[in-house]
Amino acid sequence: MTIEHVAVIALVVEVAIMILARFGTERRHWRHHKGRGPAPLKRDDITLVSGVLYALAAAAVVVGALTAQVEWTLSAIGTFALFGILLPAFAANSVMVLATRGRPETVTWWQRGLACAVAAGGGLVSVGLIG
């Protein structure tokens, strides 16, 4: 298995995590609309990512690109920005949304650590998407 395969698998896993978190958010909104649950919190949105997760993903992208000696073209930078920073950070935030059901104040240290690992891992393996 090459780094390209690992990068594509990581991308699929990130998208699946984001879809699951989004379905959970929509389910909470629907339950509230039907009168069977409390109002969802604003932090329940998977796109409200903290700057720390973006920074972790960006640092991992730089480390991966320097290790693999990637040519820094405009296309490579755009790919890194989307698949190396944005998607891993969204997936990491989705991990926290899934783990806490949208309550960011209840995040434990291991949930935050898992989210950081998802952001850093996604940024690191995104190097495989540059051909």
Least confident range from 3-7, 88-92, 102-106: namely 102-106
Arithmetic mean of pLDDT, 90-100: 89
pLDDT digits (tens, 9 = 90+) for 44-89: 777 778 899 999 999 999 999 999 888 889 988 998 999 999 999 9
CA distance 54 to 85: 6
Identify the residue with better confidence: 131 or 95: 95
pTM, 2 dp: 0.85
Q: Check: CB of residue 113 under 8 Å from CB of residue 71.
A: no
